[in-house]
Every structure is written in structure tokens, then in C-alpha cells.
Amino acid sequence: MVERSVALFGTSQPVPPRLTLTAGSLTATLENGALRWIRHGDIEVLRAIAWQVRDRNWDTPEPLVTNLVVQQQKTGFRVTFDALCRSADGELPWLAEIIGEADGTLRFTGTARPRVDFLTNRTGFVILHPLAGVAGRPVEITHTNGETRQARFPELIDPEQCFLDIRSLAHEAAPGLWATSRMEGDTWEMEDHRNWLDASFKTYVRPLALPFPYKLAGGSEATQSVTLKFSGRPSAPSMANGPRPVAITYADSQARMPVLGLRVGTETLAERMRAADLGRRTGIGLVNARFDPRADHDVQRLGHLGELAQALGAELALELVVPCRRDPAHELRDFAEMLSQSGVQPESIAVAVAEDRLRLVPGPPPPDLALLGVVYGAARNVFPQMTIGGGTFGFFAELNRNWPPFGLIDYITHIAASVVHAADDRTMMENLESLPAMARTVRAFAGAMPYRLIALSLGLDSGPYGEPAPNPDDTRRTLVRRDPRQRGLFAAAWALGALAEAAHNGIAAVTPAALAGDLGIVECGDRLSLHPIYHVVRGLARAAGRDVAGTVSSDPARVRAIACRNAAGRIVLWLANLTDEVQRVTLPEGGNLRRLDEETFAAAGLAADFLDRQKATRIGREIEIGAYGIALIEMGE
């Protein structure tokens, strides 16, 4: 029997313990030294208050918490602990005190005490507001000079900082209930975290306009605090009576299943060809591959990519980095000559300028954005018959800050990864909430132009800020390519949720994984084996272009759903449990059930057609799905 943690998460690393704290109507969860899911009754008021240390590469080391003391009483609580964050630049010790009072007031104080000089891009408190009940809603901002003004949280994703020079934020968490978060000890500002797939608005310490990295002097002391207070009362009392089953219902829909692709990842050429037959059996439509002249990519690489696409029975979607070190037209003609020599005929070429030619931070663009027009105009001249994609090979933030010239391209694209700012299990799943806002924002500035995601995955294949962080210990870490959960049921559930959002929001093509390697669906060990995500990719890739039935989950934070018709015309419903607990689900009708879960994990790793061969179980209108499990139901009699 496979160890449960390995089946779920691909690693034996334990899940951090969680402790629920209560003070009057307020509850919060203490996890890894951070307060998470801060609620007033049933209402999520803040997603997190956390003291974070970011190193010079923006990696966020987890704190080592010691001397934890928790005093929970009927009227409130007090928590103290010591913490230590280690980065490549050294160690930063800090200590914390958290107090919850009977009226729901919450105060979190942190004090950094570096023993020697410590270099950091950002150290201090981060406050996360959730999306539900917040996006597009009013907020009152108090600035550091005491002045207040009225504003709204962004509805569409804001490419700049939402608010600057913040001392406190007050928002109506529920009708009649106002929550005020006050920050002391520094100056805060807010950014729209959805730019990086994070499902929150982030208020963070130290303005980006100040230089970074900066030094915390050895022997110094820096104290900050965050206080949350409530006023008024919610107009309706809590009606919660324990978790109810998640109800799946049908709704009208005009959506279609996107074309699915696989990336050429970190695997060797030998591994790619070794896994090619299993990749071909998924039925994917695209092979996504990067061509970067700065990395000495050449004609031979193009030939290998063409051979792989042919072996997979898919079309090649090339991603061309234009360095812009010379006239872009000359650089594009050089690439066109290599492409001609290779004999490869790609389905499309997505063109993007090198990262240092993009606006990576808020504020006025450092390069002239007319450069983008030059690059895309040259691409259209050099490849007049080719489908040309545009946008960025970075995150949505880079697309949002650097709109391509839409009249010169045929589709718009970017990447998305779930490990950018946090790597805990629950945050990774919550990040799926950002995908609809991404699609709405693209539609707002690009209209009906086809929209592709050339990478939508747990780990980070590549990004605009440098190479992904190493992960030699195979643990949950930010900004890594090698996330151990890629090998477990977790990645299968996450991918199903992501593909459901992509389909329901009209995204034309999605690449949720690589063929092999760190982001792969196939493990190339002594013998080939399959990760659970393989079966999700295979099942949904075969449905590309088919109508997607409108499915509605009563609690998408627990269970996501997608349904389409199979070759026989029957509705096939896919369900993913996004939690580490068993979930009960009610269905619109009964059907024939197949499962991908802890019990079937080992068998699923051995056969590409595992779900096809599994004997179906006849079910009624209610089922249970295990932790991070997948349920596949052919509906009807």
C-alpha cells in the first residue's frame, strides 16, 4: 500500500499542524506562524495576516517556529512564539504576539531582531483580503497623514498598485458589519494579487518605490503590528449547522472544451521520446515548446521538437523569445531561416520580447512600448501566413502591464503558476478563484481575441524574474519548478479545477503540464509510470472542442465540476475534491462511477487506460469523494 502522504502529495513531508483560535465571534487558524482564514461567524473577513521574509530573489522561506505558547480562554486568546527564517543571505530571527479579545478585536505584533546584517527585498506583515464579497466593493482608506478617502476594490485585475500610503483599510465584510485593519510600524500599500494567480488583494509593507534589496542592520529591532476591529452587526445571523453536501446542478452554457497541450519541460530528449507513446495516448492537441536564441537554441532543437510533436500526434506551438539586442526584424528573419532549414511546420508561433524589455514593476514603462509594435509587425511580415500569438511568457502581471498590439496578432497568451507567493495546500487550491477574473480582464482589453494559457500548472516552468528556485529537499516551496505534489492526487484535482475554470471562461487552449520531468504527467524512472494528473489530461484532452455542459457547484472551494458529452452522446461529469477531507456530493441524477483516489492510486500509475478499464459502480444521487480524489460519472441509466 502506498503511503497516504505520497499518494496525496507526492512527498512524505508532513502537513503543518493547524490550530483554531476563537475570541467572541472571531475565529482564525494558526498555521506556520501565520493567521489564516480569519472569520466573523461564517464570514471570511481576511484570508491571512502573516509576517513574511522575502530574500533578494523574492523566495519566501518558511519560518521555523519555537517556544510556541497558546493560552485559549473563554473570552479570547494569547499566542506567543519565536521564529527564524533562513535564506541564502543568512538568518533573521523574529518574535510574535497574537491577542484575540472577547469583542472580536485581533492584534498581531511582530518584532525582527537580526543578529547580523540581513539583506531582504521585503520583511514585515502582509494582509490578504479574500475575493468573495470584496472585489468591486467599497473600501475606506486612511493614509499615514490621517486623511481618509472612499474607493473600491478592483473588479477587473489592476496592473498597478491599488492603493498607496496606507495606515488602515475598512470594508463592509457583510451587510451591516464593517472590518477595519490598521497597520503600525511602517507604510503599507496594496496590489492586486490576482496578477500572479493568488486569490486575494495583498496589503504589504515597504513601498515598491523604495530601493530593494535593503539591509536590516545587525543588532537593530523593528516592530510592526496589525489590528483588526469590527463595528456594527451583520444583518443576518449565521445559519451554519456543519458542512452540508456539495450540490452539483446544471445551468445554461455555450462553452467548449479547450484544446489541451503538453510542454517540453526539463526532461532529456531521450526521456521525451521514451514517454512519447504514453503522451500520444492522451490525445493532446498541442506540444508547447520555447525557442530562445539567448540559450543557444538552434536548428537541431527545432528538428527534435518537430519529431516529438509527430511522435505525440500533436501540432507544435512554438514560443519564440525575441531578444531585441539587434533590429527585431533581423532577429526574426534569422529564426525564419533556421525554421526553414529544420523543415518543421508549427501550428503557431507565439512571439514575446525578452523579459528585460518588459515593464516588470508598477509605474511608467522603462522601454518604449512602441517596441512591441515593431516586434509584432516584423513577425507578421516574416510569417505572413502563420498564426501569430502575442502577450508574454511571464505572468498575467506582465501581460496586464504590457498589452500587445492586438491588430497584429491572432491570439493572446501568458503563463500561470500556483507557487508564486505561497505554497501551502489550501492556498494552492484557493488560487483557482483568480482564473475567472483573468479571463474577464483579458476580454476587457482584448475583446473576443482567442486566449491561450501556454502554461497553467502547480510549479513554475519559467518566469520573468529568473530561474525557478531549487528544491533539493522536495518540499512545499514558493517559486519552484519541482513541486512534489505534481506526482500526487493533489495535482490531478488542481488540474481538473483549473481546466474546468478554463473551459467555463472561454479559454481556447490550455497546457496544464509537461510530458515528463518536474512538471510531467509521466515518470521516467527505471520503468515508466503515470502520475494521477495523466488521467485527467487524457480524459479531457479527448473532449477538446466538444460542448461543455454548464455545471454549478454549491461550494467550489470544496468540489469543482466539469461535464461534456462523450462519443456516445452521454454526459460525462468530472468532479474534483479540492480538500484533504472526504466530501459528500449530491448529483442531478445517478450514473456509472469510476474513481481516481487513494485506493486506486497504485493501479492508476500502471495503465494509460486505467479509467476506461475500471469497472464502473452504479450510483444514485449522492456520493462521497476522498481527499483530493477524482470522480468520473457517466450520467443517466
- Residue 280 within any structural domain of the chain: yes
| Final residue belonging to a domain, choices 523, 550, 577 | 550
Say whether both 401 and 531 belong to one domain: yes
> Among candidates 505, 404, 503, 501, which has minimal Cα distance to 446?
404
- Residue 209 within any structural domain of the chain: yes
Say whether both 79 and 160 belong to one domain: yes
Cell numbers describing residue 391: 502577450
- Residue 43 within any structural domain of the chain: yes
Is 382 in contact with 329 (CB distance < 8 Å)? yes
Element (H, E) at 188: strand 188-192
Average pLDDT across the chain, whole number: 94
| Dihedral sign for Cα atoms in the order 597, 602, 603, 604 | positive
- Residue 241 within any structural domain of the chain: no
Tell how far CA 203 is from the center of its chain: 19
Burial of 268 (0-12, 13-18, 19+ CB in 10 A): exposed
Is 163 in contact with 171 (CB distance < 8 Å)? no
Q: How far apart are CA 610 and CA 312, in angstroms?
A: 19
Say whether both 390 and 427 belong to one domain: yes
pLDDT of residue 369 exceeding 80, the answer is no
pLDDT of residue 237 exceeding 60, the answer is no
Tell how far CA 627 is from the center of its chain: 20
Chain position carrying cell 498589452: 403
Domain count, the chain: 2
Residue 523: predicted pLDDT: 95
For residue 38, the cross-strand partners are 46
Query: Is residue 475 very low, low, confident or very high in pLDDT (cuts 50, 70, 90)?
Result: very high
Say whether both 228 and 286 belong to one domain: no
Chain position carrying cell 469583542: 103
Q: Give the mean pLDDT of 382-397.
A: 97
- Residue 237 within any structural domain of the chain: no
- Residue 606 within any structural domain of the chain: no
pLDDT of residue 360 exceeding 90, the answer is no
Where in the sequence is the domain holding 416, given as residue range(s)?
250-550
Q: How far apart are CA 438 and CA 395, in angstroms?
A: 11
Say whether both 388 and 484 belong to one domain: yes
pLDDT of residue 112 exceeding 90, the answer is yes
Per-residue burial over 361-399, b if 16 or more Cβ lie within 10 Å, else e, is ebeeeeeeeebbebbbebbbebbeebebbbbbbbbbbbb
pLDDT of residue 351 exceeding 70, the answer is yes
Query: Is residue 236 very low, low, confident or very high in pLDDT (cuts 50, 70, 90)?
Result: low
Say whether both 301 and 402 belong to one domain: yes
Q: How far apart are CA 303 and CA 329, in angstroms?
A: 23
**CB neighbours of residue 88 within 10 Å:** 11
Query: Is residue 595 very low, low, confident or very high in pLDDT (cuts 50, 70, 90)?
Result: very high
Give helix then strand counts, H and E, for the chain: 12, 37
Query: Which range has the worst mean pLDDT, 136-145, 181-190, 459-468?
Result: 459-468
Say whether both 222 and 254 belong to one domain: no
pLDDT of residue 387 exceeding 70, the answer is yes
Query: Is residue 235 very low, low, confident or very high in pLDDT (cuts 50, 70, 90)?
Result: low
- Residue 608 within any structural domain of the chain: no
Say whether both 199 and 269 belong to one domain: no
What CATH code is carried by the domain that includes residue 403? 3.20.20.80
Say whether both 138 and 281 belong to one domain: no
pLDDT greater at residue 266 or residue 249: 249
pLDDT of residue 49 exceeding 80, the answer is yes
Query: Which range has the worst mean pLDDT, 134-148, 228-242, 467-481, 483-497?
Result: 228-242
Query: Is residue 248 very low, low, confident or very high in pLDDT (cuts 50, 70, 90)?
Result: very high
For residue 510, the cross-strand partners are 260, 453
Q: Indicate the DSSP class of residue 602.
A: H
What CATH code is carried by the domain that includes residue 147? 2.70.98.10
Query: Is residue 495 very low, low, confident or very high in pLDDT (cuts 50, 70, 90)?
Result: very high
Say whether both 304 and 275 belong to one domain: yes
pLDDT, one tens digit per residue, over 612-627 is 999 999 999 999 999 9
pLDDT, one tens digit per residue, over 442-469 is 999 999 999 999 999 999 998 888 889 8
Q: Give the mean pLDDT of 421-432.
A: 95
| Final residue belonging to a domain, choices 504, 521, 550 | 550
Q: Tell me the residue type at 200.
A: S
| Final residue belonging to a domain, choices 173, 205, 232 | 232
Q: Give the mean pLDDT of 418-443.
A: 96
Say whether both 375 and 508 belong to one domain: yes
Q: Tell me the residue type at 332.
A: L
Say whether both 265 and 153 belong to one domain: no
Is 302 in contact with 339 (CB distance < 8 Å)? yes
Q: Give the mean pLDDT of 94-111.
A: 97
Cell numbers describing residue 516: 515528463
Query: Is residue 567 very low, low, confident or very high in pLDDT (cuts 50, 70, 90)?
Result: confident
Cell numbers describing residue 316: 507544435
Query: Which range has the worst mean pLDDT, 238-242, 286-290, 379-383, 422-426?
Result: 238-242
- Residue 570 within any structural domain of the chain: no
Q: Tell me the residue type at 135.
A: A
Assess whether the previous peptide bond of 405 is cis (omega < 30° from 0).
Answer: no
